[in-house]
Amino acid sequence: MEVCYQLPVLPLDRPVPKHVLSRRGAISFSSSSSLFGAPDPRQLSQRRGAISYDSSDQTALYIRMLGACVVFKQLFARDVRVRSQVGFEPERRSSHPYLFIDFRTLHTRLSCGSASASSVPERRLHRLLSCQRYLHSSRLLRGVPQQIPLHILDEDYTGQARCMLEKVGNWNFDIFLFDRLTNGNSLITLTFHLLNHYGLVELFQLDLVKLWRFLVMVQEDYHSGNPYHNAVHAADVTQAMHCYLQEPMLAKSLTSYDILLGLLAAATHDLDHPGVNQPFLIKTDHYLATLYRNTSVLENHHWKSAVGLLRETGLFSHLPPEDSLNVERDLGSLILATDISRQNEYLTRFRTHLDQNNLCLINASHRHFILQMALKCADICNPCRPWELSKQWSEKVTEEFFQQGDIEKKHKLEVSPLCDRETNTVGDIQIGFMAYVAEPLFAEWTRFSDTRLSQTMLGHMGLNKASWSSLQQEQTSMSEEVEPSTVGTDIGGVATQTDSNIVTATGGTSSKELPQGSREP
């Protein structure tokens, strides 16, 4: 029997207050603006879409879009990521009173059955959605069924996944295999396991339902269409962070709070990444670039997105408000540290501490700084993995670069460094990245923690660099046999351009120009 629920809606002819201003998906709210009144909390569940708000705003509002209906609720006197709702995923339906609403029918009703509804442009809804959410909502509204993966796995697969988790601290952990064994749920499964492994669920009295819902929403907000910046990359970084947390220097010094922050930051550090870099957002006048004044644009968005999910799920709602705000602030400090344009700043500070031998991990600020450096290492550790894993990551991140370059060419924009598939190769990019970014960072990390793991990472990086050089030489030899008069000049030009681009990227303002996940190429 089919069950139908009547959807309570606000009057469609009620004008939207003038203080609600939208621009390319961004909405600003005045702190003096009045609200429609606090709605029933039961109606303020779930979300769909991702919107960040100006940090200068003193009033943050939670918006849920149901067709043309808007429900407002004041949350905190601080900025927060605000989300919109146009659909529900199966795993979240059970907690919502309108669990079986067909939004395609609702859309048809609004657009065809009501004159007042037609006065509200459909694009008002679309402005509120990120690119991924817009595509998802469009599929729903057009009646195209969403491809939902099955979450029930064969016992053999779940058994193999459990066996892999027993060795989650191994540096050669194959995150690609683990993702297949968990049916694409590597981030959820891995993070949940690690939080439980460290006893953080019990220690911080985390509600299991809220925690699971938070992790599901985090994984959903990674764009599966991105070749590199997706949930598998986040799971890989989380696993690397776990390896670093096991290092003697950290294991004997970090508190449970530090470990909680480190794991959450690793899992959310690229949340809602659009698959393009910061210069692309700036030159296309994207609303996020304007919102964050062209400074750490993506990192700020990842942080605010994570804060939005924490507040929406109420994962830390049982803690005193001051403690919850501290978690949000410290989480942001870790995520913002992954901005590659600030690489030299953090590396210089790290090197100075090591030269002066004044790092004292009893000091909370020093522990936090080491967490920042650990997250930076985890974020760009792909060159330090075994060749079979490192090569896959290299190809994925380069493909994401090239896809951006294709878009820039299509729209007659200047092609960003490292993004032109005609003048760059995977090997060129990786060799330059290792020489100018990865090697300096991991050399200093080894000075801080000279362990077997650190030596293993440096060893893998050296072998991987040699492997790419060998592949480059083979490709050059084959090319010279075909075009001996022209290829030599072209190869030299590529190498010079790549090295120059990487130097510029690490010292300039571009936060997304480098490969290997060095904080969003």
270 belongs to an annotated ligand binding site:
yes
Query: Burial of 429 by CB count in 10 Å (0-12 exposed, 13-18 middle, 19+ buried)?
Result: buried
Distance from C-alpha of 135 to C-alpha of 47, rounded to nearest angstrom: 15
Distance from C-alpha of 74 to C-alpha of 63, rounded to nearest angstrom: 9
C-alpha atoms less than 13 angstroms from C-alpha of 309 in its C-beta half-sphere: 29
Catalytic residue among 107, 126, 229, 301: 229
Closest CA to 373 of 393, 355, 356, 349: 349
End-to-end Cα separation, the chain, in angstroms: 51
Distance from C-alpha of 395 to C-alpha of 385, rounded to nearest angstrom: 14
Amino acid at 448: F
Query: Which residues lie below 8 Å from residue 15, measured CB to CB, with a gap of 6+?
Result: none
231 belongs to an annotated ligand binding site:
yes
Q: Would you list the DSSP string of 110-167?
A: HHHS-HHHHTS-THHHHHTS-HHHHHHHHHHHTTPPP--------HHHHHHHHHHHTT
Distance from C-alpha of 112 to C-alpha of 107, rounded to nearest angstrom: 8
SS (H, E, C) 235-278: HHHHHHHHHHHCCHHHHCCCCHHHHHHHHHHHHHCCCCCCCCCH
Closest CA to 214 of 63, 327, 74: 327
269 belongs to an annotated ligand binding site:
yes
CB 458 within 8 A of CB 442: yes
Distance from C-alpha of 426 to C-alpha of 494, rounded to nearest angstrom: 11
**Is 136 among the catalytic positions?**
no
Residue 22 host element (H or E): strand 21-23
232 belongs to an annotated ligand binding site:
yes
C-alpha atoms less than 13 angstroms from C-alpha of 377 in its C-beta half-sphere: 33
- With both helix axes pointing from N to C terminus, report the angle between 186-197 and 256-268 in degrees, rounded to the nearest 10: 180
379 belongs to an annotated ligand binding site:
yes
207 belongs to an annotated ligand binding site:
no
Distance from C-alpha of 137 to C-alpha of 125, rounded to nearest angstrom: 10
229 belongs to an annotated ligand binding site:
yes
What is the set of active-site residues?
229
Specify binding-site residues for Zn(2+): 233, 269-270, 379
Specify binding-site residues for AMP: 229-233, 270, 379, 430
Specify binding-site residues: 229-233, 269-270, 379, 430
